Amino acid sequence: MVQGKTLFDFVNPKEYRFVHICSSCGHPHFLKDDNVEHECKNCGDNAGYQVVPFYNPTEDYALDVDYYAITMMYALWKQNVHKNHVVYDDFYRKPPFVRGVGDYRGELGGYVAFGGLDHLISMLSSLYFNEQDIEYLRQQPESFDEAFLDDLRALRFSGDLYSIEEGNLVFPNTPSLRIEAPVWECIWIEAMLLNTINSESLLLTKGSRLITVTGGDVLLEMGKRRAQGRDSSVNGAKMAYIAGFDATSNVKAGKEFAIPITGTMAHVYIMFHESEYEAFKTYADTFPEKVILLLDTTNTLESGLPNAIRIAKEMEQRGQKLVAVRLDSGDLAYLSKKVRKRLDEVGLDYVKISATNDLDEATIASLKQQGAKIDIWGVGTKFITAYDNPALGGVHKIVARSPFHHELKSDGGQYQAG
């Protein structure tokens, strides 16, 4: 294996669509068709082959469509107008997360932070129907013409994409992204485009609102366990990082997108040990550079805090510093003020306070108004699920088409505007 490469860097499944596995020696041959009349280049035999479709499962997007896309593509193909060029714009009508203020119930300050472009481009550039997709469509009761399935086999996204950059703000009824392409390609990509842009823009917007309210404080994304599925947990962590979060707890997202990862301990670590002090001590011994102690397992002010102070003082004697303590329940404004005061009194003014517990931009703003002494914010459920507004209604609409014109050439030549 070559470092950092996969099979798909060497064998392109858009071209080599079948693997012929030699019945004699088991050697795999990557070929463009399923015609088995060839000799094995490994053993010279042609006793037979097991033929299986070959494709890259990490780039399996062609059927990420609503079925009407396929039926419309077929009907357009039947009329031979499927390659007529059209222009599609993407925009949304109503901004998310907007709440009434006072007696005013209209929309104030709504915006969307545009996200998902990087992901979309990667999908469009890897888009092809693999042999299993073709076979699945062949089995449908519509009985698609074999020539249509052949054209799908050769189909790639050939259009032009114009877009604002990921992370920029977009306002209602203003196009953020434009596609110019043959009409059947625009129809093909509609659902995957909207799914990607809507979901990632929604989370980028939520992340941007959290960044606005936390100002310069440290902000951490920890929504993995509450996200609606694996993809949204990873994509959400990416959107959080683009929005300006400092790190994520999601290790997969960290690896995939080079996002800093963070995490220390949960209640289980403390409950597993004989005492809270012993749990803190073993953790501090293991990771002396990055200790954040969770205070609320039994009693935040009566047990967690005194034990954390004892650990911090022991660390000082070894020339080490406790990084932070974490509050995960209770009245975070009240507790953080108490903890801050006590830490300062014993000379631990460098120890930061982190807080987690169903936080969103409204609760963080409220905590700040109450004078909470929190330096590090961890947000999970309410960020990753876009809890108070879980969908963005962006649309992909045709805004122009070339004159309705049947293609002149049958060999794939395109209509020329004139």
Which residues are at the interface with Zn ion (CB under 5 A)? 22, 24-25, 27, 40, 42-43
Q: Which is nearer to Zn ion, 24 or 298 (CB)?
A: 24
Which residues pair with residue 51 across a beta bridge?
20
Contact 177, 89 (CB under 8 A): yes
| CA–CA dist 111, 169 (Å, integer) | 6
Contact 292, 321 (CB under 8 A): no
Q: What are the angstrom distances between the C-alpha of 106 and each of 98, 100, 101? A: 9, 6, 8
Closest CA to 33 of 143, 157, 134, 140: 134
Q: Which is nearer to Zn ion, 46 or 385 (CB)?
A: 46
Q: Which is nearer to Zn ion, 20 or 238 (CB)?
A: 20
Q: Which is nearer to Zn ion, 39 or 145 (CB)?
A: 39
Least CB distance from residue 28 to Zn ion, whole Å?
A: 10
Least CB distance from residue 16 to Zn ion, whole Å?
A: 18
Burial of 66 (0-12, 13-18, 19+ CB in 10 A): middle
Least CB distance from residue 56 to Zn ion, whole Å?
A: 25
- 54 secondary structure, DSSP code: -
Contact 24, 155 (CB under 8 A): no
Q: Which is nearer to Zn ion, 11 or 149 (CB)?
A: 11
| CA–CA dist 211, 219 (Å, integer) | 8
Least CB distance from residue 22 to Zn ion, whole Å?
A: 3
Least CB distance from residue 191 to Zn ion, whole Å?
A: 43
Least CB distance from residue 20 to Zn ion, whole Å?
A: 10
Q: In sequence order, which ranges of 104-159 are alpha helices (DSSP H)? A: 117-124, 131-138, 146-154
Q: Which is nearer to Zn ion, 21 or 362 (CB)?
A: 21
Least CB distance from residue 43 to Zn ion, whole Å?
A: 3
Q: Which is nearer to Zn ion, 19 or 325 (CB)?
A: 19
Least CB distance from residue 45 to Zn ion, whole Å?
A: 5
Q: From edge to edge, which strands make up the β-sheet containing 177-182? A: 160-163, 177-182, 85-91, 395-401
| CA–CA dist 361, 311 (Å, integer) | 33
Q: Which is nearer to Zn ion, 42 or 299 (CB)?
A: 42
At residue 100, the 3 state secondary structure works out as: coil
